Structure 1
């Protein structure tokens, strides 16, 4: 049985629903409420499709190109660590992705679906937390359900973005994003250590 709470916190950190709110507001600032809802739904569906694809095919693709999952775990942990450090010390996720929004054409896809919601960390989590050798089909289904629940929370926050933003403000979203970055650094280090251990046990 997987640790449901730990899995939820992991996905909440890598998807960062609260950090998506300022990005969504910037992307949709010129649109009416009806179009905002359509963009929110499209972004949630697109990001969900991407992450479910990684759940189903990520490990298969790695096997086809002959990359052991342990190597992917180490590399992914390093990338996730750098990504987390940028959240802590650099521009926070909302600040960075709001800038992307100014030049985006298909705004529901970029920067909302990718990289705001279906972030590199989320794609990595989708593969690592559904590894066939370590998790049963039931456990993989539970992980996927938790991931979808976080995406649903993200959708709800986008639909209520104006109210959420008034409550937490830009500074609040930035603080939360940095806290999530701190959590991710710990997760990243754990992934690298687990990958090294797995690699030398092969």
Structure 2
């Protein structure tokens, strides 16, 4: 949650243009139910973001919920990633990795960003967290004195090989940068 009606996710998780596409957000999803109790879920009414993106610096979207769950369960802020944070083991990733359980949440803390690649107003935050399919769309965040802030959303995994394997990179990617703040700012301003 990044606003009272806004959920941050990966763009490739949104059924853009699907005639019968639907998304439901379940706060604290655990074994098929909301861990916050009755009413801890809401259907998406619309999405705003970068349609057609998959494991890129712009693989992000915000989803508007029919119900203002953020008023009840709270929500985190966002910050653009600062290159001076590179190498610091500050970050946490939360998701539902199929390699562990797609019915129970999993998290990993102490993650460090090894590189941040700019792509216009987006950033690919490269790291080696233990992420598998199912983690997509989860927050990539840290805690500050005034609460948690997302710097990205989990996009996926990339393999980039140079000539003869030189310069290859096998990294997990979280999409972030000023583009993320722009999407969340749009949602907060328009989805009251």
Is the pair's TM-score, using the shorter chain for normalization, greater than 0.5?
no
Q: Which has the larger radius of gyration?
A: 1
TM-score, scaled relative to structure 2:
0.29
- Structure with larger RCO (C-alpha < 8 A, sep 6+): 1
Which structure shows the higher strand fraction? 2
Which structure shows the higher helix fraction? 1
